[in-house]
Chain A
Amino acid sequence: MSTFIAIDSSYAADIQAASSYREKYVYPVYQSKGFAMSPFFGPLARRGFVAPAAMAQGVSLLTGAGHGTYSSFIGFNFETIYAVDGYSPQEVSGKIVHFLSCENAQQLGPNFVQNGCLAFIGYDENFTFDPDSPDSFFKCDAQIDDGLANGLKVGDAVAQAVDLFRQTIADLRAQGNARTASMLEVNLSHLRSPLDGSQWGDPDAVLV
């Protein structure tokens, strides 16, 4: 089995919530399926540490939670880890990338794919969540990881996550949490993946 790079820049409360969720529930799923984790958490979520690891042999996935802009994925203390054309293609070539981050599916994701990334999954606008119950939001996104770890094609993993988004939205509305449901629905509308077009890669890509 291959290695996945986990990048969590948990220096702010919002990122802390997402990072904590992924470290508790997401990365163990990959590990349980035999994938080795190369973790870059907190102060290690910086380009100087991540870039060499991403170029190492046997890395098949880059994932993590962090701030984002349309053109970048940001690490610890606002340090840019990935920016459009600001990395070696070898860091992303032949790999799947999934970021729980704002905006960077708009420009960075397609730029990764232009440089050989098999598939990029992320969000092209802000990712919002209910501060009082963030886990239900992160869980929907994490369904993508569950699918990838279990050998689904990227397109099928995303479709599985979309189903969970929709079910959670319906459940929230049934519970009378209409605004929270709308927040999640807006996230879903900004989820980008190869299912939306080849600029985000190949929907048949599989994590190996």
Chain B
Amino acid sequence: MSKSSGGSARLPKRRRNRSQPKKSTKSHGNQHAGYHIDGLKIATLREVLDPAVPTMSLAELTEEQRVNLVVSRLQKEPDNFRIGIIGPGTIDKTRAIAEVQARSRIGRTIMEIEQNLLLHLAKTI
């Protein structure tokens, strides 16, 4: 897929608000957020938002790529990463990764959260 047809190419580049904490912006920019145009290498948010870097946006990814992207994001989380879900209880990092890989209901919920987060970050960074 070409960059010109992808959502990432149309995302406006935004300057960081100087009042925001620099550390936060830095860490967001380095987060895994998409794929390079070859569909093989994961791209950072900074790369996805850079018009000079051909990448595939979230909407262009296959389900397999989205699963792998979320797993790679979770792998970069600290070991004390947790999500609470009424019913399954507290999901730790290891289980979160396993649920996403299994594409279970819990995994789909975690996918939805991560995708929501990425869409938000793409709008605000």
Contacts of A182 in B (CB 8 A): 113-114, 116-117, 120
Query: Could you list which residues of chain A lie within 8 angstroms of chain B, going by C-beta atoms?
Result: 12-15, 17-18, 65-68, 100-102, 125-132, 134, 173, 176, 178-179, 181-183, 185-186
Q: Which residue of A lies closest to B24 (CB)?
A: A176
Q: Which residue of A lies closest to B80 (CB)?
A: A132
Q: Which residue of B lies closest to A133 (CB)?
A: B84
The one of B86, B113, B124 in contact with A183, judged by C-beta atoms closer than 8 angstroms, is: B113
Given contact pairs A100-B86, A125-B112, A126-B109, a sample of 12 additional A-B residue pairs in the complex whose CB atoms are under 8 Å apart: A13-B90, A14-B87, A14-B89, A15-B86, A67-B87, A125-B109, A126-B106, A129-B84, A131-B84, A173-B124, A178-B117, A178-B120
Q: Are B86 and A186 in contact (CB under 8 A)?
A: no
Q: Are A68 and B113 in contact (CB under 8 A)?
A: no
Q: Is the interface of B mostly helix, strand, loop or mixed?
A: helix
Q: Which residue of A lies closest to B21 (CB)?
A: A176
Contacts of A173 in B (CB 8 A): 120, 124
Q: Are B86 and A129 in contact (CB under 8 A)?
A: yes
The one of A100, A128, A176 in contact with B84, judged by C-beta atoms closer than 8 angstroms, is: A128
Q: Which residue of B lies closest to A13 (CB)?
A: B89
Q: Which residue of B lies closest to A129 (CB)?
A: B84
- Distance to closest chain B CB from A88 (angstroms): 26
Q: Are B90 and A131 in contact (CB under 8 A)?
A: yes
If the complex has contacts A176-B21, A176-B24, A178-B28, are A126 and B86 also in contact, measured as CB distance less than 8 A?
Answer: yes
Q: In the bound complex, what is the Cα–Cα distance between A17 and B86 (angstroms)?
A: 9
Q: In the bound complex, what is the Cα–Cα distance between A137 and B72 (angstroms)?
A: 27
- Distance to closest chain A CB from B8 (angstroms): 19
Q: Indicate the member of A68, A129, A134 with the most B CB atoms within 10 Å.
A: A129
The one of B90, B106, B124 in contact with A14, judged by C-beta atoms closer than 8 angstroms, is: B90
- Distance to closest chain B CB from A87 (angstroms): 20
Q: In the bound complex, what is the Cα–Cα distance between A186 and B114 (angstroms)?
A: 10
Q: In the bound complex, what is the Cα–Cα distance between A185 and B109 (angstroms)?
A: 12
- Distance to closest chain B CB from A69 (angstroms): 8
Q: In the bound complex, what is the Cα–Cα distance between A131 and B85 (angstroms)?
A: 9
Q: In the bound complex, what is the Cα–Cα distance between A102 and B108 (angstroms)?
A: 14
Q: In the bound complex, what is the Cα–Cα distance between A202 and B109 (angstroms)?
A: 29
Q: Are B85 and A126 in contact (CB under 8 A)?
A: yes
Q: Are A126 and B87 in contact (CB under 8 A)?
A: yes
Q: Are B87 and A186 in contact (CB under 8 A)?
A: no
If the complex has contacts A126-B109, A128-B113, are A102 and B85 also in contact, measured as CB distance less than 8 A?
Answer: yes
B111-125: CB near A (< 8 Å → 1, else 0) gives 011101100110010
Q: In the bound complex, what is the Cα–Cα distance between A65 and B87 (angstroms)?
A: 10
Q: Are A127 and B120 in contact (CB under 8 A)?
A: no
Q: In the bound complex, what is the Cα–Cα distance between A134 and B121 (angstroms)?
A: 23
What are 20 of the A-B contact pairs (CB < 8 Å)?
A13-B89, A14-B86, A14-B88, A18-B86, A66-B86, A68-B87, A126-B87, A127-B85, A127-B86, A128-B86, A129-B84, A129-B86, A130-B84, A131-B83, A176-B20, A176-B21, A176-B24, A178-B121, A179-B113, A186-B113
The one of B24, B83, B117 in contact with A128, judged by C-beta atoms closer than 8 angstroms, is: B83
